[in-house]
Amino acid sequence: MENTILIDGNSLTISQVNEIARNGTKVALATNAIEQINNSRNHVLRIINSDKIVYGINTGFGKFKDVKIANKDLRDLQVNFMRSHACGIGKPFSKEIVRAMILLRANALAKGFSGIRLEIVQLLLDLLNHDVYPYIPEQGSVGSSGDLAPLAHLGLVIIGEGLVFDAQLNKIDSKIAFRQHQLQPAILEAKEALALTNGTQAMTAIASLIIYEAHKLVKVADIISAISLEAMFGSLKAFSALIQEVRPHPGQIKSAQNLRKILDNSQFIESHHNCNLVQDAYSLRCVPQVHGAVRQAINHADEVINIEINSSTDNPLIFANEVLSGGNFHGEPIAIVMDYVSIALSELANIAERRIERLVNPALSNGLPAFLTLNGGLNSGFMIAQYTAAALVSENKTLAHPASVDSIPTSANQEDHVSMGTIASRKAALILTNLYNVLAIELLCSCQGIDFRSGNLSPDPLSEEANFRKLPLKPGDGVYLAYEHLRHTIKPLISDRILSYDIETTAQIIKSGNLLKAVESKIGTLE
């Protein structure tokens, strides 16, 4: 099928998750997944017909694990489960996160260890392919047994009792949306409520979207730090391959390679390579070491998330000859790596804020005017933009406190250790948003610094349209491309204006990926 991604429970990638979640790409079950799902369901039917007591199939849940449920009541059990577990509160997850959740739950079920019927899995894919956006509150999951509350809100939609958003983002009854798309709500049978809700798909959906963005953002941070280096007449020597080779952390080596590529052919650096400055400050000199460590944290999280998105995470699991209760629903693998990612992204923001401070501080900027403004005093320039960056990195430090070290017992102490993995992922998402804005502020400040170095900004600038290409001295190839890309949208700061708008626009330029594309289109792919 053209422009359709096939899922089988084993081969989904983070890139595909983002493609489906963000771009509306169609999804279908692979042939082998259909066989896997049907085989698993047949095992459940044999158990029901034998009247054998098996947890999760014909018993209660959690503390009620020993309560036998009569076959005649199994349908009611599914409905009661969804209603009782849909206890989420707070603002709703974004459409992209919800789409990723639906996809990941379907992919886990496609592995064929959950005992669910094929038509229920297909209905999940119908939600994606018809672009139905369920209302799922963000808060309420402790990350074990999986993301029960968020996934129960999804389950309510499946049975026609939940809420979805219409095209105008008004909440409507799911039955209305089903009629609009000619879909039918499901009547769940034994094991199916548990199969839909007992998993880590909320925390993993958020994590998948974050990791995808983080891979690109760490490259952008290399680009912006290079602009700051040039604006402050820094040195390229600290990025020498010789230095990296004697401490061969892969992330550090890649970051230094990027910086050398971005700064290649820099006439700025060449013009002052004989200056008396022996060493740059750490926020400039140690970019490979700090950015490189962030890279490796993101790469480690990528490995964990790629395993998780192709895992069976419900309980019990249905095997050919037995049904086994275990703990694959426990979100600890995601909780720990997303706490790690939170710390890493916070550090990327921390070092960027330090470069912002150096850019606006005349005692530290190697000759740039105070707060990067003309007519200081009359104008405040980027003074308060640095305040904003400081506020964001301080907020990140609070958010980076690990969620995974906390646990509150639930279900009458039957579930006496939980992961808080969804909280870890949600906090990482907030840190990522703050990071976009800190990098946007650094990009604005560093490009303003380039303008001063170039002569575009002087007490009597010719015009706001002054063009960098007039300069006798040209910065590094990548710096020039990034500067030029920003200046197509954001003009130099001649006199004070509302910088909030500039920050928001610049953050969107970074988030869109267009800045990175503009640089890589000419100098090649960054590591």
Mind listing the pLDDT tens digit for each residue in 354-381? Answer: 999 999 999 999 999 999 999 999 999 9
Confidence tier at 112 by pLDDT (50, 70, 90): very high
How many angstroms separate the CA atoms of 479 and 522, rounded?
Answer: 11
| Residue in the structure block whose two tokens are 């501080």 | 361
How many angstroms separate the CA atoms of 473 and 454, rounded?
Answer: 7
pTM of the model: 0.95
What pLDDT, on a 0 to 100 scale, did the predictor assign at position 276? 59
Mean pLDDT of 74-99: 96
What pLDDT, on a 0 to 100 scale, did the predictor assign at position 4? 95
Confidence tier at 414 by pLDDT (50, 70, 90): confident
Told to judge if 483 belongs to the known catalytic residues of this protein, a careful annotator would answer no
Percent of the chain with pLDDT over 90: 83
Fold adopted by 207-523: Fumarase C; Chain A, domain 2 (1.20.200)
Considering the candidates 55, 212, 282, 480, report the single residue annotated as catalytic. 55
What pLDDT, on a 0 to 100 scale, did the predictor assign at position 64? 83
What pLDDT, on a 0 to 100 scale, did the predictor assign at position 278? 67
User: Of the candidates 156, 147, 198, which has an alpha carbon nearest to the alpha carbon of residue 175?
Assistant: 156
Task: Quickly list DSSP for 328-342.
Answer: TT--HHHHHHHHHHH
Q: Is the pLDDT score of 211 beyond 80? A: yes
Q: How many CA atoms lie within 13 A of 140 on its CB side?
A: 19
Amino acid 146 reads G
Confidence tier at 409 by pLDDT (50, 70, 90): confident
Q: Is the pLDDT score of 138 beyond 90? A: yes
User: Which residue ranges make up each domain of the chain?
Assistant: 4-199, 207-523
CA distance readout (Å), 362 to 45, 93, 231:
75, 44, 12
Which range has the worst mean pLDDT, 12-16, 133-137, 174-178, 413-417?
413-417
Mean pLDDT of 115-130: 98
Do the domains spanning 4-199 and 207-523 agree at the CATH topology level?
A: no
- 35 burial (CB, 10 Å; 0-12 / 13-18 / 19+) is middle
Fold adopted by 4-199: Fumarase C; Chain B, domain 1 (1.10.275)
Under 8 Å between Cβ of 146 and 314: yes
How many angstroms separate the CA atoms of 491 and 448, rounded?
Answer: 9
Mean pLDDT of 14-36: 97
What pLDDT, on a 0 to 100 scale, did the predictor assign at position 111? 97
Percent of the chain with pLDDT over 70: 95
Q: Is the pLDDT score of 279 beyond 80? A: yes
Q: How many CA atoms lie within 13 A of 402 on its CB side?
A: 15
